[in-house]
Copies of this chain bind each other. A is one copy, B any other.
Amino acid sequence: MPIDVLGDAAFGPHRFRDPALLAQALTHRSAGTPHNERLEFLGDALLGLFAAEALYVCWPKADEGVLTRARAELVRESSLATLARGFELGARLTLGPGEMKSGGHRRDSILSDALEAVVGAIYLDAGFEACRDVVRPWFGPLIEALHPAKVGKDAKTRLQEWLQARQAPLPQYELAWEGGEDHAKAFRVRCTLSQPPLSAEGEGGSRRAAEQQAAEAVLAQLDA
């Protein structure tokens, strides 16, 4: 599904009415204005929604925690960069001379940002349904390839593994609040890291559930 920006300005099944939008989406900020950062902001939100909807439909039994972790996998920078390479987006980018020399067209962050920007551009060019028709097929193979162990693993385990891989100290969990009736207790737990120094709280119907939520919130801050 190559992007023909030189000829008919088609992106996959989408043909741009306004080719200037596509050109902007493929222009890195190093090449001057108008560049793709605002379109990237819009496209990031669109991709988040399309990924969420694809998972909601494909995994009718999955709970929110699994869906949230799976969504993060689908839209993570390296996943989007891989898609962008499949579309040979790198060769079509407009970069400043410095970025060009240093191989910016191969960098994950630049490719992923440009793909997000293209999605934003399609939305502005042709609306929600057209944009979804282009993007949704991207996620089918990615969802099939999701490793169940990765999305299935609980948050405390994943946080522990992330920290151990970086030889950082293990997190501390402490009860911040406890309430509710005996048969329907509620707990709030704070999870604190010393390195990197950050913390977050989680709530749940058991102390263990609250710890998982807190670990999940810390992982979100780590973008892990």
Give the B-binding residues of A (Cβ under 8 A). 29-30, 37-38, 40-42, 44-46, 48-49, 51-53, 56, 62-64, 67-68, 71, 77-78, 96-99, 101-102, 104, 108-109, 128-129, 166, 177, 179-181, 183-186, 188, 195-198, 201, 203, 205, 222-223
Contact = CB atoms under 8 A, between A and B. Distances in A.
Nearest to A185: B98
Task: List 9 A-B pairs, minimum CB-CB distance, nearest first.
Answer: A98-B184, A45-B52, A37-B64, A196-B203, A45-B49, A98-B180, A98-B181, A102-B180, A128-B128
Given A38-B64, A56-B42, A201-B197, A186 B109 contact: no
B183 A166 contact: no
16 contacts: A37-B63, A38-B64, A41-B56, A41-B64, A45-B52, A77-B184, A78-B184, A97-B184, A98-B184, A101-B180, A102-B186, A128-B128, A128-B129, A177-B195, A177-B196, A198-B203
Main secondary structure of the interface of A (DSSP, over half): helix
A101 B183 CA distance: 11
A42 B49 CA distance: 7
Contacts of A196: 177, 186, 188, 201, 203
Contacts of A184: 30, 77-78, 96-99, 101-102
A100 to B, nearest CB: 9
Give this chain's copy count: 2
Contacts of A37: 63-64
Nearest to A188: B196
A49 B109 CA distance: 21
